Amino acid sequence: MSTAAPRKDSTFEWLVAPILVWVELDKNAIVGADWPRCVSELTTDDGDAVWVAADESGTSGENLADRDFVVAHATVCMDDVEAASVLAELRAKAGATQAAEAKFSQFAKDAGLRALAEAFGSGGHLSGRVSIMVADKPFVIVAKIVDLIVEEWAHDRGINLYAGGTARQMALTLSQKGPRVLGDQWDQLLAAFVSLARAKQRRGAKESVASFYVRLREARRQCWLRDVGRVLDVLLASHEHAEDLVSFVADEETVVSTMDPMSFLVGDQIAFAHNRYGRVRFLHDEQNLLTRPFVETVLIGVAASHVAFGGEGPPPVLADFCLGRSKDHPSIQLADLAASAGRVTVEAHLGKPSLAADMLREAVSPSIARGVLRDGDAFWVGRST
């Protein structure tokens, strides 16, 4: 495995590109010398490049086996000056004017949810200006098992699992049928893989390759469904690739996490914003993940993908990449509300109903642009746009 870039396409289909394209790109033409740049002053569109603010909801880093099973990342194309006016109106309608910073929990009652639904709906302040990307954490784990171990085994044997969507179908099959077939072992197996594949683990003993394969053999003995059994058989034959994965994530030069969904959600949002608005100034809520090496890797990956997958002209280039505290930027607070609204909407679709989802689904769903979900594309089929 390369620490510079993914070798080939993946189940997620974005951010990654052939390494030959990657290495030919001039990073100095893609990444500013001072990015990410920290800003506290209010952003203002000046006609050159619009501001796009970003935040997330439900993230737990590499700990994908936590209780919150959906992570959402949202952008709002709006500068702080306009966002302050929109946010003040929303908070007034919701009766959420006391706290210094707007949070989704302040909009949890009927009045707040109606205000958000109105803002997201047709003709609302946020209509057409929001992009939400979502990731179903249990499915991400399964897709990573396929991408990081099964695909490596197949590639060594000259088998292209990405041709015709085979890898994605394997992940969907395992994700949809595994819980029923393996029972209590299912969650344990997913948690064990997360421990194996994550770079750092603060609590508990880290899973070893040996102990993970003990779990796999027990799961295979219990498995009675043929198509799930086939995937487990390949996993059992791929011990050396699991060893390679552990070595890869332990490499201190690896700057993009193999497990954290933010690694691909941020890149996808940047590509989406470029396709919709052209060159933008990207303002993200402060996070430890967003280091200079991370930003550089993601932006070069987005640019490489643009060229490798048929993009014409120069690769996507941001006008700026900035970090800011949400309390200083109304636009980031709106992005946080959008991410939370998208998260509860998708959670309800996947079996966790809520009042918020009931009241927001119709208005918010059109803004959920893409994601990785255990039921494939079912969320987007037949929805209103």
Least confident of 7-11, 132-136, 174-178, 181-185: 7-11
Of 197, 227, 250, which marks where a domain is finished?
250
Domain coverage including residue 23: 19-136+261-372
List pLDDT tens digits, range 158-211.
Answer: 988 888 888 889 999 999 999 999 999 999 999 999 999 988 777 778 899 999
User: For the residues of 319-379, what is the DSSP string, one character each?
Assistant: SEEEEE-GGG-HHHHHHHHHHHHHHHHHHHHTT---HHHHHHHHHHGGGEEEEE-TTTTTT
**Same-domain pairing of 110 and 35:** yes
Please state the domain count of the chain. 2
Query: Do the Cβ atoms of 242 and 145 come closer than 8 Å?
Result: no
User: Is the predicted pLDDT of residue 20 greater than 80, yes or no?
Assistant: no
Can you list the alpha helix ranges (DSSP code H) found in the chain? 19-24, 80-94, 110-120, 137-145, 151-156, 166-182, 184-197, 209-222, 226-236, 239-250, 262-277, 292-308, 330-349, 355-364
Beta bridge partners of 133: 73, 370
**Same-domain pairing of 131 and 23:** yes
Mean pLDDT of 43-72: 91
**Same-domain pairing of 116 and 154:** no
**Same-domain pairing of 120 and 26:** yes
Mean pLDDT of 351-373: 95
Of 215, 250, 285, which marks where a domain is finished?
250
| Spatial separation of the C-alpha atoms in residues 72 and 27, rounded to whole Å | 28
Of 250, 273, 289, which marks where a domain is finished?
250
Mean pLDDT of 58-66: 88
* pTM greater than the 0.85 cutoff: yes
| Spatial separation of the C-alpha atoms in residues 309 and 156, rounded to whole Å | 24
- DSSP-based three-state secondary structure for 224: coil
The four Cα atoms 229, 230, 236, 242 give a dihedral, to 10 degrees, of -120
User: Is the predicted pLDDT of residue 1 greater than 90, yes or no?
Assistant: no
Residues 6+ apart with CB under 8 A from 382: none
**Same-domain pairing of 228 and 154:** yes
